[in-house]
Structure 1
Amino acid sequence: MPTIEANGVTLNYRIDGPPDAPVIAFSNSLGTTLAMWDAQVAALSGGFRCLRYDTRGHGQSSLPRGKFSVEVLAEDLAALMEGLGIGHAHVVGLSLGGMTGQALAAARPDLVDRLILVATSSYLPPVDLWLDRAQMVRARGMGSVAENVVGRWFTPLNQTSDGALATRRRLEEEISPEGYAACCEAIGAMDLRERIGAVTAPTLVISGGADPSTPPIMGEEIAARIPGAEFIVVPETAHMIAVERAETLNGLILSFLGGSAAAAPDRTGSGGPATEIADGLGRSRTLLGDAEADRIRAEAGAFGAPWQDFVARYAFGEAWGDETLPWKTRSLVTLALTAALGQEDEFKLHLRPALRNGVTPDELRSLLKHSAVYAGLPAGTAAFRWVREVLGEELA
């Protein structure tokens, strides 16, 4: 793969996709290489020009002497884009890559069209944890942290999957201890909280519901600080969302960047309704969770399958895919309407997704009281009962 001298570092990079297509720049996490984005490039490079690179000190990118900051990593990406003649791009970053994306969007808004921040944080103390980890890998190598790191990156059911095993192999074999340690020190010293309020790019923040490294509360804080940012939690998912839930992330990226049908045609060339249905199915799995989406499809059977395709295409494709309203607002509207109409099954189906989309218990209570004023007290009483039946002690 080619390299380029940018910001005093040799960066290994790769570009896939049509030369005249919109650019997506991918920035990788700590302890990975550009290969972590393989599934995204496979899905998106039909309609986008996908730029990915190894962060300095990772993979085949060099590591200049001396310490550096997350802001310097953002300067690396800016210099890479400018060196390749890319004036602006959508930026997608996971973990350290998301930190890089935040710093870049704050400092160089001219370069960032839309920003997608995955499993990341703007501030990640304690600093001693990062200094201790840096010291460990310098003394004992990458194998000393591999098991613990991959154990936090993937949920227990997926820790022996092909994706997890490949991620661990790259961590141990393709990441230099010094490069990893230097990035640990940069993360420990990072505090972007006051800076990201200056981000003007439309922003989507995605957290894994079971991520112990950068839990949803960190993603929620980023979304609260960036004006107009949208926040989504992918349930039953740990840190390495790009690998563990690749199809879900691909669907979210496509939706946020304008929809799969328009922005990234079906790579088989078929396009049309099949692509729209697939896009809706991916969005329904993100909203409802894999288990619930699979249950609904299974219960529909062969007779109901065309109806479920219709729902996927229009409810989750057209309605939930419309970017005009954020998902939290749509959840509130959905709960209010289903409560008013007495649609118990639909109300219960959308209750937990609403909480994952950022609706708080206090907001839920206020919504039901407000709805009851206009829909009737019996409707409000029923809705409060349905909440107790679904959430029970969780609201105590």
Structure 2
Amino acid sequence: MRLSYEETGPADAPVVLLGSSLGANQAMWAPQVDVLANRFRVIAFDHRGHGGSEVPDGPYAIEDLGGDVLELLDTLEVEQASYVGISLGGAVGLWLAQNAPDRFHRFAVICPPSNPAATAQVWLDRATQVRAEGMQSVVDATLARWFLPDFKADLEPVRQMLLACPPEGYAACLEALSTTNLLPGLASITAPVLVITADSDTSIPPETVVPLAAEIPGAHLEIIENAAHLVTYSHPDVVNPLLLAHLG
């Protein structure tokens, strides 16, 4: 699987991978890339079915998405990296932490769904909707989950990013979430993990993330106040220092 990616920062620096939210592409990391690239070789990638990556027919599974990341590391000849992921990218990070611990130094998982299979029909219904009606049918609802009403920044670039997401890729990743339960393996994670949640996240509510952090040995939990789901975009002034402190 060929994943689209962009590298920033010194070629000989420690590697940090950035895994995006469902429906987003590597451009969503613009508030983080330059800051991280002062210290790291930053590789922001698009999940399969998103951005410039290939779009195979669905359904996908979390093993597919995690395997794509490992294949990317192999392609880049990177033995070990750290990983930062939000939303879908956070779920992929938890899978990698459980299934490929030898390839990663540290993880930061932001608003991660740990057991989306518990609400499988919600994801499957949205997949059906997007295949039938296109991305325009979910954009407004997605933006309402991602940002609080009083967030004043221009969201048109984010809207266009969502509209550009291939409907099949989006739907197939929803199907991957519908079969994902990462809870049983959390206690086996050995890498240092930073878990970030947002107090007003209606997409992945904090009451589902806080217990997740408690199950990961030694995990550090941060709750961002007055924030909705896409905290990397809305609150980089809070998130970026947390990432830098954790990644070392």
1:351-370 to 2 correspondences below 5 Å: none
**Amino acid of the residue matched to residue 191 of structure 2?**
A
1:29-68 to 2 correspondences below 5 Å: 29-68=21-60
Deviating 4+ runs (over 4 angstroms) = none
Tell me the alpha carbon deviations over residues 253-278 of structure 1, each in whole angstroms, 9 at most, x when there is no partner: 011122xxxxxxxxxxxxxxxxxxxx
TM-score, with normalisation over the residues of structure 2?
0.97
Instruction: Report deviation, 1:67.
Output: 2.0
Which structure 1 segments of 5+ residues have no match? Answer: 1-8, 259-396
Supply the distance in 1 between the matched residues of 2:204 and 2:124 (Cα, whole angstroms): 18
Query: Who is 1:25 aligned against?
Result: 17
Q: Which of 221, 233, 250 lines up with 2:240 in the alignment?
A: 250
Supply the distance in 1 between the matched residues of 2:211 and 2:80 (Cα, whole angstroms): 26
**Preserved contact between residue 124 and residue 178 of structure 2 (Cα < 8 Å):** yes
Q: 1:144 and 2:134 equivalent? A: no
Instruction: Report deviation, 1:248.
Output: 1.1
Instruction: Report deviation, 1:166.
Output: 1.3
**Amino acid of the residue matched to residue 245 of structure 1?**
H
Q: 1:72 and 2:69 equivalent? A: no
The structure with higher relative contact order (CA 8 Å, sep 6+) is 2
Instruction: Report deviation, 1:212.
Output: 0.6
Instruction: Report deviation, 1:20.
Output: 1.1
Q: Which structure's CA Rg is the greater one?
A: 1
Q: 1:127 and 2:120 equivalent? A: yes
Query: Who is 1:168 aligned against?
Result: 159
1:182-193 to 2 correspondences below 5 Å: 182-193=172-183
**Amino acid of the residue matched to residue 158 of structure 2?**
T
Query: Who is 1:230 aligned against?
Result: 220
**Preserved contact between residue 57 and residue 169 of structure 2 (Cα < 8 Å):** no
Q: Which of 201, 211, 220 lines up with 2:191 in the alignment?
A: 201
Q: 1:12 and 2:11 equivalent? A: no
**Preserved contact between residue 114 and residue 203 of structure 1 (Cα < 8 Å):** yes
Tell me the alpha carbon deviations over residues 71-111 of structure 1, each in whole angstroms, 9 at most, x when there is no partner: 21111001101110111111000000000000011100011
Supply the distance in 2 between the matched residues of 1:67 and 1:129 (Cα, whole angstroms): 15
Query: Who is 1:154 aligned against?
Result: 147
Instruction: Report deviation, 1:214.
Output: 0.8
TM-score, with normalisation over the residues of structure 1?
0.61
Query: Who is 1:115 aligned against?
Result: 107
Q: 1:217 and 2:210 equivalent? A: no
**Preserved contact between residue 209 and residue 236 of structure 1 (Cα < 8 Å):** yes
Does the residue aligned with 1:219 lie in a helix, a strand or coil? helix
Does the residue aligned with 2:150 lie in a helix, a strand or coil? helix
**Preserved contact between residue 29 and residue 96 of structure 1 (Cα < 8 Å):** yes
**Preserved contact between residue 85 and residue 109 of structure 2 (Cα < 8 Å):** yes
Q: What's the C-alpha RMSD, in Å, of the aligned pairs?
A: 1.0
Instruction: Report deviation, 1:200.
Output: 0.7
**Preserved contact between residue 120 and residue 218 of structure 1 (Cα < 8 Å):** no
**Amino acid of the residue matched to residue 80 of structure 2?**
H
Supply the distance in 2 between the matched residues of 1:83 and 1:181 (Cα, whole angstroms): 27
Query: Who is 1:261 aligned against?
Result: none
Identity %: 40
Instruction: Report deviation, 1:68.
Output: 1.9
1:87-126 to 2 correspondences below 5 Å: 87-124=79-116, 125-126=118-119
**Amino acid of the residue matched to residue 196 of structure 2?**
I
